[in-house]
Amino acid sequence: PGAAGRINPVPRVGIPCVVLSDGPAGCGILPVEGEENYFCTHFPIETLLSSTWDVDLVRNVGEVIGNEAKEYGVDVLLAPAINIHRHPLCGRNFEYFSEDPLLAGKMAVAYVDGVQSNDIGTSVKHFAVNNQETNRMNNNAIVSPRALREIYLKAFEIVVKESQPWTIMSSYNRINDVYASESPELITTILRDEWGYKGTVMTDWWGGADGAAQMIAGNDMIEPGTKEQAAHIIEGVKNGTLDEAVVDRNVRRILELVVRTPRFKGYKYSNNPDMKAHATVTRQSATEGMVLLKNEKQALPLSPKDKNIALFGGVSYNFFSGGTGSGDIHRPYVVSLLDGLKNQQIVVDDNIKAIYQAYNRPQEQGEQMRINEMPMDTAIIKYAAKNNDMAIITFGRISGEYIDRISSDFFLSDTERELVKNVTRIFHEANKKVVVVLNVGGVIETQSWKEMPDAILLSWQAGQEGGNSVADILTGHANPSGKLPMTFPVTLSDHWSSLNFPIDQKIDRRWSVKTGLTHETKNVDYTIYDEGVYVGYRWFDTQNLQVSYPFGYGLSYTTFEYSKPSVKQDNGKVIVEVTVKNTGKVAGKEAVQLYVEAPAGKLDKPVHELKAFDKTKMLQPGESQVITLAVHTDDLASFDEQTSAWVTDGGKYKFVVAASSRDPRGDVMVDISPSTRKVNNVLNLPAAFKK
Ligand code: GLC
Per-residue pLDDT averaged across 495-516, rounded? 81
Residue 315 has pLDDT above 90, yes or no: yes
Q: What is the pLDDT of residues 535-565, one digit of tens each?
A: 999 999 999 999 999 999 999 999 999 999 9
Q: Which pLDDT band holds residue 362 (cuts at 50, 70, 90)?
A: low
DSSP assignment of 137-175 equals TT-EEE--HHHIIIIITHHHHHHHHHS--SEEEE-SSEE
Q: Which pLDDT band holds residue 509 (cuts at 50, 70, 90)?
A: low
Residue 367 has pLDDT above 50, yes or no: no
Ligand 1 neighbourhood includes 4 CB (under 6 angstroms)? yes
Express as a percent the part of the chain with pLDDT over 70.
98
Euclidean distance between CA atoms 173 and 179, whole angstroms: 6
Ligand 1 neighbourhood includes 511 CB (under 6 angstroms)? no
Question: Which pLDDT does position 507 carry in this prediction?
Answer: 66
204 catalytic residue (yes or no)? yes
Euclidean distance between CA atoms 683 and 357, whole angstroms: 54
Pairing relation of β-strands 526-528 and 651-660? unpaired
Distance between Cα 111 and ligand 1 center (Å):
18
Q: What is the pLDDT of residues 165-194, one digit of tens each?
A: 999 999 999 999 999 999 999 999 999 999
Ligand 1 neighbourhood includes 204 CB (under 6 angstroms)? yes
Question: Which pLDDT does position 690 carry in this prediction?
Answer: 86
The span from the first CA to the last CA of the chain, in angstroms, equals 50
Residue 121 has pLDDT above 60, yes or no: yes
Question: Which pLDDT does position 510 carry in this prediction?
Answer: 55
Q: Which atom of ligand 1 is nearest to the CA of 126?
A: 9
Question: Which pLDDT does position 1 carry in this prediction?
Answer: 86
Ligand 1 neighbourhood includes 556 CB (under 6 angstroms)? no
Which of 100, 204, 409, 649 is labelled catalytic? 204
* One-letter identity of residue 515: T
Q: By alpha-carbon position, which residue is closest to atom 9 of ligand 1?
A: 326
Q: What are phi and psi of 328, to 5 degrees?
A: -80, 155
Q: Which pLDDT band holds residue 426 (cuts at 50, 70, 90)?
A: very high
Question: Which pLDDT does position 364 carry in this prediction?
Answer: 46
Least confident of 116-120, 517-521, 611-615: 517-521
Q: Which atom of ligand 1 is nearest to the CA of 136?
A: 8
Distance between Cα 326 and ligand 1 center (Å):
6
Ligand 1 neighbourhood includes 223 CB (under 6 angstroms)? no
Element (H, E) at 427: helix 414-429
Element (H, E) at 7: strand 5-7
Per-residue pLDDT averaged across 584-609, rounded? 97
Residue 681 has pLDDT above 60, yes or no: yes
Per-residue pLDDT averaged across 103-119, rounded? 98
Residue 163 has pLDDT above 70, yes or no: yes
Q: CB of 333 within 8 A of CB of 30?
A: no
Ligand 1 neighbourhood includes 76 CB (under 6 angstroms)? no
Give the mutation target among 45, 130, 169, 204 for probing the ligand 1 site: most ligand atoms within 8 A of CB: 204
Question: Which pLDDT does position 506 carry in this prediction?
Answer: 72
Ligand 1 neighbourhood includes 281 CB (under 6 angstroms)? no
* One-letter identity of residue 432: K
Helix (H, G, I), strand (E, B) or coil at 374: coil
Per-residue pLDDT averaged across 284-297, rounded? 98
Considering only CA atoms, give the Rg of the chain.
25
Question: Which pLDDT does position 559 carry in this prediction?
Answer: 98
Question: Which pLDDT does position 513 carry in this prediction?
Answer: 65
Distance between Cα 583 and ligand 1 center (Å):
46
Q: Which residues have C-beta within 8 Å of that of residue 36, sequence separation ≥ 6? A: 271
Question: Which pLDDT does position 456 carry in this prediction?
Answer: 99
Ligand 1 neighbourhood includes 78 CB (under 6 angstroms)? yes
Distance between Cα 481 and ligand 1 center (Å):
31
Continuous H helices in 526-676: 537-540
Ligand 1 neighbourhood includes 95 CB (under 6 angstroms)? no
Question: Which pLDDT does position 37 carry in this prediction?
Answer: 87
Euclidean distance between CA atoms 41 and 92, whole angstroms: 20
Q: How many Cβ atoms from other residues are within 10 Å of residue 269's Cβ?
A: 17
Express as a percent the part of the chain with pLDDT over 90.
94
Helix (H, G, I), strand (E, B) or coil at 534: coil
Average model confidence (pLDDT) for the chain? 96
DSSP assignment of 586-626 equals S-B--EEEEEEEPPP-SS---S-EEEEEEE---BPTT-EEE
Q: Which residues pair with 142 in a beta bridge?
A: 528
Minimal CA–CA distance to 102: which of 641, 579, 632, 625?
A: 632
Distance between Cα 320 and ligand 1 center (Å):
21
Q: What is the pLDDT of residues 30-79, one digit of tens each?
A: 999 998 889 999 999 999 999 999 999 999 999 999 999 999 999 999 99
Question: Which pLDDT does position 392 carry in this prediction?
Answer: 98
Q: CB of 278 within 8 A of CB of 68?
A: yes
Distance between Cα 48 and ligand 1 center (Å):
20
Residue 512 has pLDDT above 60, yes or no: no
Per-residue pLDDT averaged across 473-488, rounded? 98
Task: Give 453's Cβ-side CA count (13 Å radius).
Answer: 31
Q: Which atom of ligand 1 is nearest to the CA of 95?
A: 9
CA-CA-CA-CA dihedral for 659, 664, 668, 670, to nearest 10: 90
